[in-house]
Structure 1
Amino acid sequence: MSAKPDLGRFASFGMGITGEEASAIEALGYGAVWVAGSPPAELDWVDRTLEQTRTLKLATGIVNIWTARPETVAASFHRIETAHPGRFLLGVGVGHPEADAQFAKPITALNAYLDVLDKQGVPRERRVLAALGPQVLKLSAQRSAGAHPVLVTPEHTAEARRLIGPDAFLAPAVPVVPTTDVEHARAVGRKTLELYLGLSNYLNNWKRLGFVEEDITRPGSDRLVDSLIVYGTPDTIAARLNEHLEAGADHVPIQLLTSPAKVIPTLADLAGPLGLG
């Protein structure tokens, strides 16, 4: 396998980003920005953002295979690569069976999509798969640079590393609430988890991690929330994020559960404890 993508140790993860925000994140020492949701296949926002930064990389977390045609995605990748070589990582995934009426077996659907990306010349080392369970984790190592799990524990990160091997890229996204108020953090965490507590792929993954029905029944137990949602002082948050690196992650996208106006200041607060500069 080719060298792993180099996105630095930490990144910002959110629903959208302006060029000015990307420039500020780059200046703080973060290596990348992951854009969540299911962006359109044209990916026109990537060009505008990269034009306002020098070294920052962008990744999709994730392009949904049901809503973005692979031929269009491949054309977008090549356009971005021509203008900004090596600065874009294509994250793709199957979404959720409850949300996608056409949902098929993930392995079958992903393989068909990746077949098209192969034919269109999108390099395996420049794409990653959203992956939670063992089969898709293994597929991520076989047919892409690696895996991008969401809402997982360091224990999942360790198991994912075992399954994908040492040479694949592993980038678990971790939600963070920048507060030392436990009840507030749990309330924000539960609001974030509300959707996922109705999605079978996440529920099954949490069961594999040892959570029981009492934990994963809405609104979610304190044990579940505290395991998945990071909060506390900047030093505490940094220590918990580093647990994923210690468990085998290469890179940790940070999903800040706070108001948009507080994202950059919070990333600034975390930069020192995270060893960025």
Structure 2
Amino acid sequence: MALNNVGKFGVWQSHTITTPQAVAEMEELGYGAIWLGSSPAADWDGYDKLLSASNSIVVGTSIVNIWSTPAKAAAQTYLRLEDKYPGRFLLGVGAGHREATDTYTKPYDALVDYLDVLDAEGVPQHGRALAALGPRVARLARDRTAGALPYLTVPAHIRELREILGPDKLLVAEHKVTLDTDLERARETGRRRAGFYLGLSNYANNLRRIGFDDADLVAPGSDTYIDAVVAHGTAEQIADRVTEHVAAGADHICVQVLADDTLPTLRALAPLLAERTR
């Protein structure tokens, strides 16, 4: 598979809270990639800091927003980082949310145009991936990138995407986790962080398409919805839950810890994820 070696499991978190020291520890713990959320810009100065503070962990964007970051700028960042840190930067791009921009028109066409520019600027297919939820963008990811970076997903969705992507494309599954054995408190944490997405049409439509009822998707979400997209309980229970994505066809799981300090949970999960993804 001609793509960056992201390993079997990694971390998803906002680029705004990700520090070089934390990434260095994630690498020591065995996490193969750090996926930077909250739409980092192409000129964000943190990429170099994270890569220079570590030796092998892959830094991926999840995602660079095509409406706010010009394709040429994204290409320049990729090429610069690839030259300096070969095989350690993966450019994840996506169309974001209709509710977040006034320019959100014909997102599929905009993604095609963006990839055309990346081609022209010399960004190879194995160095980029797409945020894909539905079948059409998944097919675009299959045909023109290393693979797909679905967010707010469940194993049934991963199974569907793997069928579309085929066996040789990267499929990364994001899953939210809270290390808490108090069921109601864990669900409340989940609602604070995952209820927001039900107001975004692309996520709500995809969740409805893959089997959730309308009643599940009334913000801040039913217990069925929260329990599906937020793994909670003991570290062992969480590891069992998130690795269901591997059985469904994911190559790589990235955990998003719903806590201000993510490292204690990441420390607890690392050996369990390593054992379950051998």
Normalised by the length of structure 1, the TM-score is 0.96
Tell whether the 8 Å contact from 2:4 to 2:88 is kept in structure 1 after alignment: no
The residue aligned with 1:231 is: 232
**How do residues 70-109 of structure 1 correspond to structure 2 at under 5 angstroms?**
70-109=71-110
Q: Could you tell me which amino acid in structure 1 is paired with residue 161 of structure 2?
A: A
Q: Say yes or no: does 1:189 pair with 2:185.
A: no
The residue aligned with 2:255 is: 254
Normalised by the length of structure 2, the TM-score is 0.96
Distance of 2:252 and 2:274 partners within structure 1? 14
Distance of 2:165 and 2:2 partners within structure 1? 15
Q: Say yes or no: does 1:179 pair with 2:180.
A: yes
Distance of 1:205 and 1:199 partners within structure 2? 10
Indicate the larger mover: 229-238 or 186-195: 186-195
Tell whether the 8 Å contact from 2:147 to 2:165 is kept in structure 1 after alignment: yes
Tell whether the 8 Å contact from 1:33 to 1:57 is kept in structure 2 after alignment: yes
The residue aligned with 1:38 is: 39
Distance of 2:77 and 2:220 partners within structure 1? 40
Tell whether the 8 Å contact from 1:178 to 1:231 is kept in structure 2 after alignment: yes
Distance of 2:249 and 2:55 partners within structure 1? 28
**Superposed structure 1 runs of 4+ greater than 4 Å apart:** none
TM-fit CA distance, 1:232: 1.0
Could you list the runs of 5+ residues in structure 1 that have no partner in the other structure?
A: none
The residue aligned with 1:28 is: 29
Tell whether the 8 Å contact from 2:142 to 2:148 is kept in structure 1 after alignment: yes
Distance of 1:49 and 1:140 partners within structure 2? 26
Tell whether the 8 Å contact from 1:71 to 1:116 is kept in structure 2 after alignment: yes
The residue aligned with 2:133 is: 132
Tell whether the 8 Å contact from 2:14 to 2:37 is kept in structure 1 after alignment: yes
TM-fit CA distance, 1:205: 0.6
Tell whether the 8 Å contact from 1:245 to 1:251 is kept in structure 2 after alignment: yes
Could you list the runs of 5+ residues in structure 2 that have no partner in the other structure?
A: none
The residue aligned with 1:275 is: 274
TM-fit CA distance, 1:4: 3.8
TM-fit CA distance, 1:43: 3.6
1:192-243: CA deviations, max 9, x gaps?
A: 1232111111111111111111110112110011111111111111111110
Q: Could you tell me which amino acid in structure 1 is paired with residue 270 of structure 2?
A: A
Tell whether the 8 Å contact from 1:106 to 1:136 is kept in structure 2 after alignment: no
Taking only the aligned residue pairs, the percentage that are identical comes to: 44
Tell whether the 8 Å contact from 2:35 to 2:60 is kept in structure 1 after alignment: yes
1:8 aligned counterpart, secondary structure: coil
1:80-102: CA deviations, max 9, x gaps?
A: 11110010000000000111110
Distance of 2:145 and 2:80 partners within structure 1? 20
Tell whether the 8 Å contact from 2:231 to 2:241 is kept in structure 1 after alignment: yes
1:131-166: CA deviations, max 9, x gaps?
A: 101111111111101100011110100011011111
Tell whether the 8 Å contact from 1:26 to 1:55 is kept in structure 2 after alignment: yes
The residue aligned with 1:245 is: 246
1:161-193: CA deviations, max 9, x gaps?
A: 011111111001111111111111111111112
Q: How many aligned residue pairs are there?
A: 274
Relative to structure 1, is the Cα distance of residues 81 and 4 closer, same or farther in structure 2, using a 3 angstrom cutoff?
Answer: closer
The residue aligned with 1:12 is: 11
Distance of 1:35 and 1:41 partners within structure 2? 12
Q: Could you tell me which amino acid in structure 2 is paired with residue 40 of structure 1?
A: A
Q: Could you tell me which amino acid in structure 2 is paired with residue 129 of structure 1?
A: L
Distance of 2:196 and 2:35 partners within structure 1? 20
TM-fit CA distance, 1:3: 2.0
